[in-house]
Structure 1
Amino acid sequence: MADHYFSAEPGSADVRRTVEARIWGREYTFTTATGVFSRDRLDIGTAVLLREVDPPTGTGTYLDLGTGYGPIACALAVEAPKAEVWAVDVNTRALELTAENAQRAGVGDRVHAVLPDAVPEEVWFSQIWSNPAIHIGKPELHKMLLFWLGRLAPGGVAWFVVGKNLGGDSLQRWLTDQGYPCERTGSAKGFRVLRATNPGSSPS
């Protein structure tokens, strides 16, 4: 059976290559591999997200949810040199690549590439960035998003990119209905860029 990029332990041979990407005006070289999402290039959805949204520049704790080989996590850490970035994925090969790519980008000490259960309970996020794995199915997607949005600090912002034909508009409505007011801030190449916020009170 073929690997999915959301397989925990890809069974395919670990065949690696490098891809080039320009993110927020900087050039990057990333190592990718078989069994990892969009191994041949920076995928279109992620490229749209990073083009439509300005990078954070201050302090904070950021989450790259479904990091893949780490382009979002690396770029966040480079643009915000005082921030900590948690890069979460269920795919162990992706996490290995993210750590390697963060080292290459000079931010290996601030990019924490870990399985979901390895994020300490006391960590809250000022921003969440994600090109979420829509293909895991709506029930699992909603469960995942609610879990991590529950770790979004009051006043925090979550950025998502979702294909229009994969439910981007319905996801916007669903997020608002769950108590995370959501607006569409961009649309390009068939993708919606969504901005959700946590208007709640401070965590106890």
Structure 2
Amino acid sequence: MTEHYFDSDPTGPEGRRDVTAEIWGRSLTFTTAAGVFARGGLDKATAVLMSSSEPPREARTVLDLGCGWGPIAVAVAVTVPAATVHAVDTNARARDLTRSNAERAGVGSRVVVAAPDEVPASLVFDEIWSNPPIRIGKAALHELLLQWLPRLAPDGVARLVVGKNLGADSLQRWLTDQGWPTERVASAKGFRVLHVRRG
């Protein structure tokens, strides 16, 4: 049976490998593996999100939603020493990789890795960063976003990257209709970067 990156517990061979990504002027090395998203290296969508965004230097609590092997979480923690990053993923292998990649980068104490149901309900985030798992389907994606967006601090922002051909513009309209004003702040290589705030 084919495994997907959104499976909770991949069982196939890991085939771990190291990749390097240039993020915010830093060269960071990560370990990836089979059964997780973008095992070959930093995917185009996340690269667009990072290159079109400034580091969240004023944020103290950041959520990386769907962290994969941790490029966003680790880059934010390395670049913003005052921030604690909560890295959340349903995929157990991805969480293990994020932990080890954060340790390798020297930020293991400030990257808190968890399954979605392990995040304290009282925790709010100054910023949410995500390359959301579009391929789980529209209904599941909408449920995911409506679960986590209310965790934004009152003046917080969620930064999402979505492929234009995967419904970025309709998602922007839907979020706004749900009471979450959403602005397209960048568009590159077929991807939209959306900023979502409280209405």
Q: TM-score range by the shorter chain?
A: over 0.9
Structure 1, gaps ≥5 residues long = 200-204
Deviation at 1:178? 1.1
Moved over 3 A (4+): none
Specify the SS of the correspondent of 1:195. strand
Q: How many residues align?
A: 199
Structure 2, gaps ≥5 residues long = none
Q: Give the Cα separation in 2 of the matches to 1:104 and 1:15.
A: 19
Q: Give the Cα separation in 2 of the matches to 1:163 and 1:194.
A: 11
Q: Which residue of 2 aligns with 1:141?
A: 141
Whichever residue aligns with residue 132 of structure 1, its letter is P
TM-score, normalised to structure 1, is 0.96
Q: Is the 8 A contact 2:161 2:191 kept in 1?
A: yes
Deviation at 1:58? 2.6
Q: Which residue of 2 aligns with 1:91?
A: 91
Residues 13-72 of structure 1 deviation map (CA, whole Å, 9 limit, x = unaligned): 111000010000000000000001000010000000000011111341100000000000
Specify the SS of the correspondent of 1:141. helix
Q: Which residue of 2 aligns with 1:10?
A: 10
Q: What is the percent sequence identity of the aligned residues? A: 60
Whichever residue aligns with residue 89 of structure 2, its letter is D
Specify the SS of the correspondent of 2:128. strand
Specify the SS of the correspondent of 2:108. coil
Q: Is the 8 A contact 2:163 2:190 kept in 1?
A: yes
Q: Give the Cα separation in 2 of the matches to 1:113 and 1:33.
A: 17
Deviation at 1:130? 0.3
Q: Is the 8 A contact 2:88 2:113 kept in 1?
A: yes
Which aligned pairs between 1:75-86 and structure 2 lie closer than 5 A? 75-86=75-86
Q: Give the Cα separation in 2 of the matches to 1:127 and 1:109.
A: 19
Q: Give the Cα separation in 2 of the matches to 1:186 and 1:28.
A: 24
Whichever residue aligns with residue 98 of structure 1, its letter is T
Q: Give the Cα separation in 1 of the matches to 2:12 and 2:98.
A: 18
Q: Is the 8 A contact 2:99 2:108 kept in 1?
A: yes
Q: Which residue of 2 aligns with 1:174?
A: 174
Whichever residue aligns with residue 171 of structure 1, its letter is L
Q: Give the Cα separation in 1 of the matches to 2:152 and 2:57.
A: 18
Q: Give the Cα separation in 2 of the matches to 1:59 and 1:141.
A: 25
TM-score, normalised to structure 2, is 0.98
Q: Give the Cα separation in 1 of the matches to 2:197 and 2:60.
A: 15
Q: Give the Cα separation in 2 of the matches to 1:59 and 1:191.
A: 25
Q: Is the 8 A contact 2:59 2:126 kept in 1?
A: no
Whichever residue aligns with residue 176 of structure 1, its letter is T
Relative to structure 1, the CA distance from residue 59 to residue 158 in structure 2 (aligned partners, 3 Å threshold; closer, same or farther) is closer
